[in-house]
Amino acid sequence: MVTNDVNLDKMNNSHNAKAKVYWKKNIRMVLSLLAVWFFVSFGMGILFVDVLDNFRLFGFKLGFWMAQQGSIFCFVILIFVYVYRMNKLDHQYDMDEDEDNFGPDDICPPGK
């Protein structure tokens, strides 16, 4: 493989450009997940709790349930969704730590 200064420079630039796109996508994902986070807790559990209390979920009033249990379930799911999507994004943009150790403990399989 022939490498000279020009090639190295190009590689560096393309790496930087890639890192920029990667960061942008990361921010967009985090913001969308935080919007859900805000909606299930501050929205359904606090601001609209009385409205939702008009509906029932088995023995619960819906607003009460969101405030005391439902939002917590959503939080757990949110983090696992983040982990899955973030690992995938790392891989797409070749930003993951060490591809060599891609083992069975990884949340996302290599490729799509």
Partner 1 sequence: MDIQTLTFIFVGATFALYIAIAIWSRAGNTDDFYVAGGGVSPLANGMATAADWMSAASFISMAGIISFVGRDGSVYLMGWTGGYVLLALLLAPYLRKFGKYTVPDFVGDRYYSNVARIVAVVCVLFVSFTYVAGQMRGVGIVFSRFLEVDIATGVLIGMTIVFFYAVLGGMKGITYTQVAQYCVLIFAFLVPAIFISMLMTGNPIPQIGFGSTLADGSNVYLLDKLDQLSVDLGFGAYTEGNKSTIDIFFITAALMVGTAGLPHVIVRFFTVPKVRDARISAGYALLFIALLYTAAPAVASFARVNLIKTVDNAEYKKTPSWFKNWENTNLIAWVDKNQDGKIQYFAGKAFSGKPKFLEMRGPEGERKVKNTPTGNSNELYIDRDIMVLANPEIAGLPNWVIALVAAGGLAAALSTAAGLLLVISTSVSHDLLKKIFLKDITDRQELFFARVSAALAIAIAGYFGIYPPGFVAEVVAFAFGLAAASFFPVIVMGIFSKRMNKEGAISGMITGLFFTASYIIYFKFINPSANSAENWWLGISPEGIGTLGMLFNFIVSNLVSRITSPPPKEIRELVDEIRIPKGVGASHHHIKS
* Interface positions with partner 1 (CB under 8 A): 19, 22-23, 26-27, 30, 33-34, 37, 41-42, 45-47, 49, 53, 57-61, 64-65, 67-69, 71-73, 75-76, 78-80, 82-83, 86-87, 90, 94-98, 106-107
Nearer to partner 1, 2 or 99 (CB): 99
Nearer to partner 1, 10 or 43 (CB): 43
Nearer to partner 1, 9 or 23 (CB): 23
Return the ∠ at Cα 75 (arms to 74 and 76), rounded to 5°. 90
Positive or negative, the CA dihedral 95, 100, 101, 106 is positive
Tell me how far apart the alpha carbons of residues 95 and 22 are, in angstroms, rounded to a whole number.
8
- Strand 56-57 and strand 60-61: the pairing is antiparallel
